Amino acid sequence: MRISIRPLGDVPWDVLEDLVEDLKDLGDATLLESKDLNSDWFDEKRKQYRAEPILESLASDAGDRVLGVTAGDLYTGTYNFVFGVGRIYSGPAVMSIAHLESPDLGKTRERIAKEAIHELGHTLGADNCPNRECVMSFSNSVDAVDRKTRSFCRRCTPTIEFMLKRLRT
């Protein structure tokens, strides 16, 4: 699978390089040129970016799957914030590193990798999983992100493997 990573706004270069490395088990990740965050995507009252129009803007980027990465705070619907949003069975996903940072750089990298894999998992057809250790477990806090692993559970693995095989043919 070809994964295109689109930086949105100012994202630390080391975060992006780590992400390319951390996504190798899913496919070949490449970095696209950075794109500015559109002011139309920003909700002035909430001081956050709406995820849906960002997904729309990513839909035309090249790659089997596209992951937008931003340091901007994201939200969708009635959620206070989201770590990311990925469309089921479709190309684009977007994630924010805003709530994933830790004084421990290793922990920050691990959180970012887990959420990137989670959002790309949605684009491959996996829904949120009830297994709290599965990477597809829904996370509404960094504690939930820290609790889960980078791996797909036995329930989610067949979906991911089927779609990855399909993308290779």
33 is annotated as an active-site residue = no
The angle that helices 105-123 and 13-22 make with each other, rounded to 10 degrees, is 60
Query: CA torsion 1→149→53→16, rounded to 10°?
Result: -70
In this structure, are strands 84-86 and 92-96 parallel, antiparallel, or unpaired?
antiparallel
Phi, psi of 35 (to 5 degrees): -120, 140
CA angle 30, 34, 40 (to 5 degrees): 130
Task: Please pick, among 52, 119, 133, 161, the residue that the annotation labels catalytic.
Answer: 119
CA atoms of 16 and 145, how far apart (whole Å): 19
Q: Are 20 and 31 in contact (CB under 8 A)?
A: yes
Count of H-run helices and E-run strands, the chain: 5, 8
Phi, psi of 164 (to 5 degrees): -65, -40
Catalytic site positions: 119
